[in-house]
């Protein structure tokens, strides 16, 4: 990196938790700084957020379209290097497409889009150019998840047999959306959230986490989706049986009505020679268990864990890292990739360890198949390959 990159943010206005998380993460390592934003479709709210983060009022916009046109017209040395999209789901496609077509690199919150057709359109758009597209499945940025991935890749577990996933939250155990809570309102609205509720909001994280660690893809699934809160239009609880590649079996249980739970994400992978277990409430530890009954606690920050996990750590053992640092690890790799392109280097010369637009398309396809399976009450084929450059929509 020969200079600090600049970025703009779309969404993340006053009161939006995740926008501030993205901003802190993108700037944690001093590699980028915010320079523009369209934080809200309400110009006054957008201006208020711009003032809060210290932006030049001339670079704070009342719409993403205005921002894309104005920022694209700037001289090359004044242009943004990338943009961050943290709007509700239904806007992801239009916003990402507008900035890709204007020539900007893009980082987008998950899920990528609300339909497979839109996800595939973004895949083809990214594939047709030299723009970087990152998707913020932040849990894959955790050091001990990278350690888990390394153990699987090294064959330490033997032949993988079973993947167990769960993600429990309790914040929607009541009809919070009826109180006007902004995060609950759009997440329970099919027009803004998409086809899935709990599965779209948190289930996609678990799905990506298993793919990232094991390198496997879901080939078939059977789901039961339930809406417990009366009047809610999307599922708030789901259970899936899954068949992964290579004959691997698995389950995914997701709920946002698990009263008392905060952010209970957990992954277990079982193989013929051992198993691994990780929980978000103890993200510093990865448990490796062997058939002789021994349990080995692998802890973040120590030099003897996998090199990828060491590179993803910032502070010594005993000084916990977590949510923002996971995001920051993804941003660091995205920013370094953009920097390599700016300097005329090849992307394959650096670590490209971040979720891409194709990962996003896989996640959207997974959601559509899970929802359809729940509707039919049947096993469905879930095999899928996102289109590459120039390919037609499947």
Strands lying side by side in the sheet with 82-86: 32-38, 5-11, 82-86, 105-108, 133-135
- What percent of the chain has pLDDT above 70? 97
pTM over 0.75: yes
376 Cβ contact list (under 8 Å, min separation 6): none
pLDDT averaged over every residue in the chain: 95
> pLDDT of 148-181, one tens digit each?
999 999 999 999 999 999 999 999 999 999 999 9
CA dist., res. 71 & res. 66, Å (int): 8
Closest alpha carbon to 124 in 313, 319, 391, 372: 391
**Distance linking the first and last C-alpha atoms of the chain:** 39
Closest alpha carbon to 215 in 248, 237, 238, 173: 248
- Residue 130 confidence (pLDDT): 87
Helix (H) or strand (E) holding 167: strand 160-168
- Residue 101 confidence (pLDDT): 97
Which segments of the chain have a pLDDT < 70? 1, 347-348, 351, 389-394
Helix spans in the chain (H): 17-27, 43-52, 64-72, 92-101, 116-127, 143-153, 182-187, 190-193, 198, 204-214, 307-311, 323-342, 357-376
> pLDDT of 142-155, one tens digit each?
999 999 999 999 99
Closest alpha carbon to 252 in 166, 160, 180: 166
CA dist., res. 165 & res. 188, Å (int): 23
Q: What is the DSSP letter of 109?
A: P
Closest alpha carbon to 235 in 257, 262, 266, 208: 257
User: Domains of the chain, with CATH numbers?
Assistant: 5-139+328-356 (3.40.50.720), 143-314 (3.30.360.10)
Closest alpha carbon to 107 in 131, 128, 91, 89: 131
Residue 38: Cβ within 10 Å count: 30
Q: How far is CA 264 from CA 51, 167, 249, in A?
A: 35, 5, 22
> pLDDT of 205-254, one tens digit each?
999 999 999 999 999 999 999 999 999 999 999 999 999 999 999 999 99
Closest alpha carbon to 370 in 208, 245, 196: 196
Closest alpha carbon to 138 in 368, 355, 284: 355
Q: Which two tokens stand for residue 342?
A: 């700016």
Q: Are 364 and 116 in contact (CB under 8 A)?
A: yes
Residue 391: Cβ within 10 Å count: 13
Phi, psi at 390, each rounded to 5°: 80, -5
* Dihedral of alpha carbons 167, 168, 171, 177, sign: positive
Left if phi > 0, otherwise alpha if psi is -120 to 50, otherwise beta: which for 11?
left
- Residue 325 confidence (pLDDT): 97
- Residue 207 confidence (pLDDT): 98
> pLDDT of 49-58, one tens digit each?
999 999 999 9
CA dist., res. 156 & res. 286, Å (int): 14
- Residue 352 confidence (pLDDT): 78
- Residue 182 confidence (pLDDT): 92
Q: Which two tokens stand for residue 155?
A: 């064959």
Q: Are 394 and 228 in contact (CB under 8 A)?
A: no
Q: Are 84 and 99 in contact (CB under 8 A)?
A: no
């Amino acid at each position: 990196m020969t200079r600090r990159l600049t970025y703009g943010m779309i969404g993340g206005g006053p009161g939006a938790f995740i926008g501030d998380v993205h901003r802190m993460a993108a700037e944690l390592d001093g590699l980028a700084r915010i320079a523009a934003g369209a934080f809200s479709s309400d110009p006054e709210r957008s201006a208020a957020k711009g003032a809060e983060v210290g932006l030049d009022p001339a670079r704070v916009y009342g719409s993403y379209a205005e921002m894309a046109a104005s920022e694209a017209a700037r001289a090359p040395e004044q242009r943004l290097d990338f943009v961050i999209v943290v709007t509700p789901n239904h806007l992801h496609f239009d916003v990402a497409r507008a900035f890709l077509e204007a020539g900007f690199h893009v980082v987008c919150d998950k899920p990528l889009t609300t339909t497979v057709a839109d996800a595939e359109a973004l895949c083809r758009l990214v594939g047709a150019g030299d723009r970087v597209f990152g998707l913020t499945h932040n849990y894959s940025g955790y050091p001990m998840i990278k350690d888990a991935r390394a153990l699987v890749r090294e064959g330490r577990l033997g032949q993988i047999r079973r993947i167990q996933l769960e993600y429990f939250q309790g914040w929607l155990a009541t009809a919070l959306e009826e109180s006007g809570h902004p995060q609950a309102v759009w997440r329970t609205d099919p027009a803004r959230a998409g086809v899935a509720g709990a599965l779209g909001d948190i289930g996609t994280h678990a799905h990506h986490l298993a793919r990232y660690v094991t390198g496997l893809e879901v080939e078939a699934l059977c789901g039961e989706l339930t809406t417990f809160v009366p009047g809610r239009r999307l599922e708030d609880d789901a259970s899936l049986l899954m068949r992964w590649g290579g004959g691997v079996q698995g389950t995914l249980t997701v709920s946002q009505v698990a009263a008392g739970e905060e952010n209970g994400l957990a992954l277990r992978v079982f193989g013929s020679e051992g198993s691994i277990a990780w929980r978000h409430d103890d993200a510093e530890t990865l448990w490796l268990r062997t058939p002789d009954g021994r349990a080995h606690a692998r802890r973040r920050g120590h030099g003897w864990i996998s090199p990828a996990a060491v590179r993803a750590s910032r502070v010594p053992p005993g000084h916990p890292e977590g949510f923002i640092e996971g995001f920051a690890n993804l941003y660091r790799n995205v920013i370094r990739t953009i920097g390599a392109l700016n300097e005329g280097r090849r992307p394959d010369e650096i670590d490209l360890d971040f979720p891409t637009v194709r990962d996003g398309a896989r996640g959207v396809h997974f959601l559509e198949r899970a929802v359809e399976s729940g509707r039919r009450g049947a096993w469905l084929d879930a095999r899928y390959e996102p289109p590459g450059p120039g390919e037609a929509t499947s």
